[in-house]
A and B are shown apart, each in its own frame.
Chain A
Amino acid sequence: MKAVGARIPRYDGVAHVTGRTVYVDDVRIPNTLWAKALRSPHHHAGIVRVDTAKAEAMRGVRAVVTHTDVPKNVYGHLEALGIPADEPLLAEDQVRYKGQPVAVVAAEDEATAQAAVDAIEVEWEERPTLLDIRKAFDPDAPQIHHWGNWYPHFEGEMDRRQIRRGDIDRAFEQADTIVQGVYRPAAIEHVPLETQVCQVVPEASGRLTIYTCTQALYFSMGVVATHLQVPLNRLKLVGGTVGGGFGGKVDTATETMTSLLALKAGRPVKWRWTREEEFLCSSTRAPWHMEIADAVSTDGWILGRKMLTLHDSGAYARFSPYGLTKHSFHHSGAYTIPNVHFDGYVVFTNRVPTTAMRGFGVTSVSFAVETHMSRIANLLGLDPFELRLKNANRIGDTTPNGVVLTDPSTVPTIQAIADAIGHELKAEYRTMTPDPRAGDLLPEHLVAQVGDPK
């Protein structure tokens, strides 16, 4: 292992500091047309009529593409993971978020493309909107997704991620107190310095070369191939340096539509989003609503946890069921809680569909769980480190989703943090190890439950 610990120069470092690194917008292909999109100005509306005649007739316009041009318009990007398709590439008879693309135009310059977009006539029929995930479950909430207001297609056609273990009611009865908290992290924009961009070149062979800022070349290749209904060997995706992605460049947001324009116009097409488009129309990290109620003893045992998660998926499912699944595994955090009751829902709203962002699904629950642990410590007047050590994962513990832990790092990590900041721990906590719990460290009523995989 000679490389680990050595200072190795970035292979792209010299290019970065001399301005030689090539990003997609630095790829300059002669004869390139420029793309712009017509986007919904409404959060939720029916599309009564779309008339592109004026745009198509405009001088300098070389192609206009709507859903009728897409061989397979509705394709779920994670169908391979069992998430059925719900999102159209280009809107058909309705729009479900402000900014949803309805048509794209390719023209000799961006100003002409934008003028053509402005000349497309659309008749909208506004519909009631749902923007608050908490209201999605109200009987009188507007129905904004054909599956209902929350995702119903988890395995076994479950409408939630559900984790049950032990006897939550008994834990709540036995508790000395119940500690509750509500945690609502807001949406976060990725704000990569390079906005979404791609350049498509139709080759004489019939292949498409796609220069793309995607973080996931093969993934995007599959998405484009499926929408276009072409074999993979008809596509050549060229990646390179991404000007910041952070999870926001996995949605294959530009490649397919730009490819359709390139095919229709028979010329290279570039589509680069403005910063305003990036802020208003690109996917974000999801907002979450998490409620935690812990049954605790006055000396700091967490006997049981009840948790409800609502994940704001925006208008379509995209990757959210996957994100919620990841989230669900971590609701007990780095701690062993013998009785748990977790429900998590992927909820639809008329907002831009949400997507991955560093730590997809997990940052939310980590934030909530750790804040909640500190809240418990605060309310009980206990040391927050010792509360965590007391309830920490031990070797042999089984997590609520059935994983038997062989080398949990909770105990040494918390001890290391305490040491690093000079926080004094009582002797029994200073010497604690992740070894399986000894009987006298655990109340009798918990002994039988901890380690029980049911």
Chain B
Amino acid sequence: MNLTVNGVEHSVGSPALTPLLAVLREELGVLGCKAGCWQGGCGACTVLVGGQPRRSCLVPVGALDGAEITTVEGLGTPERLAPVQAAFHQNYASQCGYCTPGMLIAAHAYLEGGGTDDRAAIQEALAGHICRCTGYVKILEAVGTAARGDAAELERNLEVGEEPPVEIKGSPA
């Protein structure tokens, strides 16, 4: 069977009941989507199937002949980040980074579907995704930033020393 992943067509040899996550990581070497539980419980494995976010650990590849799969690598590159990727980076929405690919896919789908910066709606869209590091606030803020499409926010320069540092009493100048 055939699968198009991030625009590249592949011939897949894995048996039909193989989870898409295993096909992506083990057969095709597409490593951006992560395995957190293999039970659909954490969201680290979420990819787009035909533009829709799905837990790739739960989808049998045999149901996907001819499907278009998008992983986090397909959203953007270091040279050209998608707005949602830039928003996550600018807002420190990622610490260990393990949940980030899944979060980005879910956020991307939400935004592509017309999602706004309404906090409750963002939370609903990302409800299946667990993060153990950040406490979620910055992730929700990042999606809101991307929803607003605020170019100024997204292009904010993060160079060292650009903003005046806070004054620390007693520190050497």
Contacts and interface: CB of A to CB of B under 8 A. Distances in A.
Chain A in direct contact with chain B (Cβ < 8 angstroms):
yes
A4 B167 CA distance: 9
Nearest to A197: B35
Interface in B28-86: 29, 31-39, 41-42, 44, 71-73, 75-78, 81, 85-86
A5 B160 contact: no
A18 B34 CA distance: 12
B96 interface: yes
Given A17-B81, A194-B96, A275 B132 contact: no
A2 B72 CA distance: 35
A274 B165 contact: no
B14 to A, nearest CB: 12
Contact of A193 (B78, B99, B104, B161): B99
Nearest to A274: B38
B22 to A, nearest CB: 10
A2 B96 CA distance: 26
A317 B139 CA distance: 39
Interface in A218-248: 241-244, 246
In which size bucket is the chain B interface? Answer: 35 or more
A404 interface: no
Contacts of B92: 10, 13
A45 B164 CA distance: 64
Interface in A1-25: 1-10, 12-21, 23, 25
Contact of B165 (A1, A26, A190, A275): A1
A3 B165 contact: yes
Contacts of B120: none
A19 B161 contact: no
A18 B81 contact: yes
B44 A19 contact: no
Nearest to B86: A17
B162 A6 contact: yes
B94 A10 contact: yes
Contacts of B163: 5-7
A28 interface: yes
B97 interface: yes
Contact of B161 (A3, A13, A20, A242): A3
In which size bucket is the chain A interface? Answer: 35 or more
A15 B97 contact: yes
A4 B168 contact: yes
Secondary structure dominating the interface of B: loop
Nearest to A17: B85
Contact of A1 (B97, B104, B168): B168
B98 A1 contact: no
Given A17-B89, A28-B29, A275-B36, A191 B132 contact: yes
B166 interface: yes
A16 B87 CA distance: 12
Given A3-B160, A243-B98, A275 B88 contact: no
Contacts of A16: 88-89, 94, 97, 100
A384 interface: no
Given A5-B163, A8-B160, A23 B34 contact: yes
A3 B163 CA distance: 9
Given A9-B89, A18-B85, A275-B39, A4 B165 contact: yes
A396 interface: no
A192 interface: yes
Contacts of B172: 1
Given A5-B163, A17-B89, A18-B76, A275 B38 contact: yes
Interface in B139-173: 156, 158, 160-166, 168, 171-173
Contacts of B3: none
Contacts of B25: 25
Contacts of A194: 34, 36, 96, 98
Contacts of A23: 34, 98
9 contacts: A2-B160, A2-B161, A5-B163, A13-B92, A16-B88, A17-B85, A17-B89, A193-B130, A194-B34
Interface of B: 25, 29, 31-39, 41-42, 44, 71-73, 75-78, 81, 85-86, 88-89, 92, 94, 96-101, 104, 130-133, 156, 158, 160-166, 168, 171-173
Interface of A: 1-10, 12-21, 23, 25-26, 28, 190-195, 241-244, 246, 274-275
